[in-house]
Structure 1
Amino acid sequence: MWDVSAHVGQLVTILIMAVALGLDAFSLGIGIGMKGIRLRDVLRISTVTALFHIIMPLIGMYTGKYVSSLLGDITSYAAGGLLVLLGAHMILNAFREGDTKLVDHRSLLGVILFSLSVSVDSFSVGVSLGMFSSDLVLTVLAFGVCGGLMSVMGLLLGRRVSQNMGDYGEAVGGAILLAFGLLFIF
């Protein structure tokens, strides 16, 4: 017999995890959005972020079945280090004369680095979920939709705030990324 309460409980749990994982994309999206961003770039970054929020937990779920004990805190340190580097780079670029940026958030590399940094946690959660019998399709779709939507909201909010902050928006955005990177590490 089909147990409705068990399925509802699993759905609620997956949605709470999806929103929690999407909060990284939201918070970091504010930082990127403060640099000043076009709507087309918001859509592109959010789409790639949603895809990474699908792919990373999927890979994690399969990995979790085999090597869950080997991962530990490595993924948090990697994500934190990446965010610290991106944040420091944004802060330096805010005060640098000229247009000599190493990684532009609108470039393919910048989009991939942002999406990877906010979806590494999804990989870790996927590893944990891989050890349990969770609905694979529901889980990865919920993670992807929440990650993408939260990214859009954060990027648009950051874009709105940056219009009022002027030239300091990029430095503030970099500081946000740097702070989140340090939180991941420590």
Structure 2
Amino acid sequence: MGFIEIVIIGVGLAMDAFAVSVCKGLSTRKLEWKHALICGGYFGAFQGLMPLIGYILGVQFKNKIENIDHWIAFILLGLIGINMIKEAFSEEEENCVPDFSFKAMLPLAVATSIDALAIGVTFAFLNVNIVYAVIVIAVTTLIISMTGVKIGHVFGSKYKSKAEITGGVILILMGLKILLEHLGLLIL
């Protein structure tokens, strides 16, 4: 898996963090750089840490299921993508509080990075350079989250659901690409 594909996956994974960052920016009356850095730091760190944990777990099972690993990647990415799209259309209103404390940010960082854990399992089956992937995903999320805080502060929640839909579609398409490549139906 190349740089562009990892960045695309990173962008897809970062959309939940972007949506929460937009919410944080929206709720902040006086935006400071530290707010964007806190969001970007938490979300970037956890989006990088979770694939590493997933990768370590996935390597344990790799030899046992390598004949169906492409199907597992397709199903995991597809389910994560569908869930993101479903959340975008949900009527449920997120609780958006201008709190950037450890106590407030830690659960948000964990919640927005659970999908990345499953991606890490997928990476184990695809023989991805995990250190490289973790760095790319973490930096991508850092930048997107910091941008989300600023966009939320300036434009409000206008882009939140669009970001979740975009992220979901990206992950579904990446899962489909992996499946088609392994089945020999797509050559890039």
Q: Quick check: TM above 0.5?
A: yes
Deviation at 1:114, TM superposition (A): 1.8
Distance 1:104 1:60 in 2: 31
Is residue 20 of structure 2 the alignment partner of residue 14 of structure 1? no
Structure whose alpha-carbon radius of gyration is higher: 1
Alignment of 1:109-124 (within 5 A): 109-124=103-118
Distance 1:87 1:104 in 2: 15
User: Which residue of the partner structure matches residue 185 of structure 2?
Assistant: none
Aligned residues: 147
Select 1:55's aligned residue among 49, 53, 76: 49
- Give TM-score, length-normalised by structure 2: 0.62
Is residue 153 of structure 2 the alignment partner of residue 159 of structure 1? yes
Distance 2:2 2:110 in 1: 26
Kindly provide the amino acid, as one letter, of the partner of residue 143 in structure 1. Answer: I
User: Which residue of the partner structure matches residue 125 of structure 1?
Assistant: 119
User: Which residue of the partner structure matches residue 36 of structure 1?
Assistant: 28
Verify the 8 A CA contact 1:49 1:148 in the aligned structure 2: yes
Q: Please state whether the residue corresponding to 2:2 is helix, strand or coil.
A: helix
Kindly provide the amino acid, as one letter, of the partner of residue 120 in structure 1. Answer: I
Distance 2:153 2:52 in 1: 31
Deviation at 1:161, TM superposition (A): 2.5
Which structure 2 residue ranges, 5 or more long, are not aligned? Answer: 66-74, 169-188
Distance 1:43 1:15 in 2: 20
Which structure 1 residue ranges, 5 or more long, are not aligned? Answer: 1-8, 91-102, 163-171
Distance 1:115 1:156 in 2: 18
Distance 2:100 2:7 in 1: 29
Alignment of 1:1-186 (within 5 A): 10-36=2-28, 38-39=31-32, 40-66=34-60, 87-90=93-96, 105-162=99-156
Distance 1:89 1:27, change over 3 A: closer
Kindly provide the amino acid, as one letter, of the partner of residue 27 in structure 2. Answer: K
Q: Percent identity?
A: 20
Verify the 8 A CA contact 2:58 2:122 in the aligned structure 1: yes
